[in-house]
């Protein structure tokens, strides 16, 4: 019975805050099925419950497809040993030294 009442009180995709709180599970189900629900208070929209995105954004794949990122060809490359950092100044000095060594 309660679900029929809730359906009658939804005007398109708008629902009052009190009705939304009372039948939260119903409106979550609606959103899960793809319908957006606008929550209104004093005849003004205050929030919107949206369906989940169809495709999750995958930043890495987007960057690879755009050509901004190139995936590694080999995964067996050994990393250099970890540096022992004493201070930020030591890090900067090491970076400058490494940069100068690679240039010449």
Tally of domains in the chain: 1
Question: How many other CB atoms are found less than 10 A from the CB of residue 15?
Answer: 23
Would you say 20 and 14 are in contact if contact means Cβ atoms under 8 Å apart? no
Please state whether the predicted TM-score (pTM) of the whole model is above 0.75.
Answer: no
Distance, CA of 38 to CA of 12 (rounded, Å):
9
**Which comes out higher in pLDDT, residue 66 or 53?**
66
Question: Rounded mean pLDDT of 24-39?
Answer: 89
State phi, psi for 70 to the nearest 5 degrees: -115, 120
For residue 59, being part of any structural domain is answered with no
Is the pLDDT at 8 greater than 60? The verdict is no
pLDDT of residue 103: 65
Whichever domain contains 40, its CATH number is: 3.40.1620
pLDDT in tens, 70-97: 877 777 777 778 767 778 888 888 888 8
Residue ranges making up the domain that contains 17: 2-49
């Amino acid at each position: 019975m309660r679900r029929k009442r809730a359906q009658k009180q939804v005007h398109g995709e708008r629902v009052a805050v009190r009705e939304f709180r009372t039948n939260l599970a119903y409106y979550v189900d609606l959103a899960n099925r793809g319908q957006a629900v606008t929550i209104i208070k004093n005849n003004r929209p205050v929030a919107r419950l949206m369906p989940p995105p169809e495709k999750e954004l995958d930043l890495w794949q987007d960057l690879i497809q755009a050509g901004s990122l190139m995936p590694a060809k080999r995964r067996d490359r050994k990393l250099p040993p970890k540096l022992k950092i004493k201070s930020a100044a030591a890090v900067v000095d090491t970076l400058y030294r490494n940069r100068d060594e690679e240039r010449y």
